[in-house]
Structure formats: C-alpha cells, structure tokens
Structure 1
Amino acid sequence: MEIRALSDQQPFTTKDGSTIRSILDLANAPVEKQSLAEATIPAGGATERHWHKDSEEFYFILEGCGSMEIDGEARDVGVGDAILIPAGAWHQITAVDSLRFLCCCAPPYRHEDTYFE
C-alpha cells in the first residue's frame, strides 16, 4: 500500500515555471501509468506555454481563478473546474488570483516530455 501525505512532499519548480509538490509520481512511489501533483501559481503568474508529447493531463482547480489556454482557445477557470489537456496540445494557465490545483498526468510527468516554442 502506498500512501503519501501532501504535507510531507517538498516543492520544486517544473520546466513550465509552476511550483509542484508531487503526491505520487515516479520519484516517490512505484507508479507506472499516472502521476498526481499539487501545483501553485501566484496571482498574476503563469506557466510558460508548452506541450507534452506523451502525457495527457487533467487539472482540477482547488483554489483561486485564472485563465486556461489550450491550442489557442482561452476560458476562465475557477474552483471546482476540471480541465482536460490532451497530449500534444499547447497549453498555458494564468492566475488572476493565486491558483492551487491538482495535476494528473498519464503517463507520469517527466521533465523530458515538456516542450516549448
């Protein structure tokens, strides 16, 4: 049985510029097909626009509000919103108010699978 407390996870900055605390991923658990992390972005901040060749992502907004752009289409997002980011889709999330959200990746997140313009 694998159980990880969020409070025990150390934050790090991903290649896209968000601050992440891995909950279950390749670095801390015997995962094979997915990963789960908490991401935070301060008010006025944004991830760098990027895409993933292999990973499909879900974002689930826990706190704050902002704007989600996927392949040129932008929509406002807030608490309770779930967002699908298909593999290969350019995307960027911008925080109006500080954002805290869950990020699920399948296959698991890897820095090497993050591409920029």
Structure 2
Amino acid sequence: MKTEYEKVQPYQTKDGSEIRELMHPALHGNRRQSLAEAVVAPGATTLLHRHHETEELYHITHGHGLMTLGDARFEVKPGDTVAILPGTPHRIENTGHNPLHILCACSPPYAHDDTEILVQDLA
C-alpha cells in the first residue's frame, strides 16, 4: 500500500483542524491504525475534545504550539511527540507565525463518531 501526499485531499475535522488521511483503513486497506497530517493555521486553536476509544500520538513536524493535555499545558516544537490516551481532553494552539504541522497516529483508526467536542474550557 502506498499513498501520495499531493493526491490526498484535505478535509476539516470536528476539532477545526485541516486533516489529510495519509493512511486509513476506510480508504487504503490497512487494518488497525490511521496516520494523518493535521495543519493548524497561525493563531488558531483546535476545539477542546477527547476520543473515547482512540489513542493518539501527535508528532510535531513544523511550527510551534501550546498543547493542552488534561490539566497540563506545555509548549511543543518540531521533533516533539505527545501521547494522548483515550478519554483525555486535549487541544493544540498554533503560537507561531507559520502553519503548525502534526503527524497524528491513531489506534484504533480515527473516527468522527469517537470525537466528543467538550463545552467546558480548560484555559
């Protein structure tokens, strides 16, 4: 299986980020995980949300941000990786002047149905 970046069409997720599904079972035939690239515009923040089933890994490839993970808030930069356990409220803010690019690995694969937008704000 192989995908080509320029042929993958981006879309908006429930949390407000732009996503390219680089590899997803519903589209590509792999089975137990998905890999996507999220892009957050300068000054933008994704909506606070959680996934009940999915564990995520965020790997920052470009840009700088402020990660909210449960009660913790910390800066992220290229090369940083964050583990997001199921049920953990999270969001990310782009604090830089360029787009923030994040590789998102999900197991089980990302599903809109597993994303709960949270009304309360942890800020």
- TM-score by length of structure 1 reads 0.96
1:30 CA drift (Å): 1.2
* 4+ aligned runs moved over 3 Å, structure 1: none
In structure 2, the residue matched to 1:113 is: 114
Identity %: 38
1:46 CA drift (Å): 1.0
- Decide whether the 8 Å contact of 2:43 with 2:94 is kept in 1: yes
**Does 2:25 correspond to 1:26?**
yes
RMSD: 0.8
Amino acid at match of 2:112: H
In structure 2, the residue matched to 1:94 is: 93
- Decide whether the 8 Å contact of 2:46 with 2:91 is kept in 1: yes
Structure 1 gaps of 5+ residues are none
In structure 2, the residue matched to 1:8 is: 7
- Decide whether the 8 Å contact of 2:62 with 2:101 is kept in 1: yes
Write the deviation string for residues 3-57 of structure 1: whole angstroms up to 9, x where unpaired.
0011110000001100001100133211221000011001110110000000000
- TM-score by length of structure 2 reads 0.91
In structure 1, the residue matched to 2:40 is: 41
Amino acid at match of 2:45: A
Write the deviation string for residues 60-89 of structure 1: whole angstroms up to 9, x where unpaired.
101000100111200000000011000110
1:101 CA drift (Å): 1.1
Aligned length: 116
Amino acid at match of 1:107: P
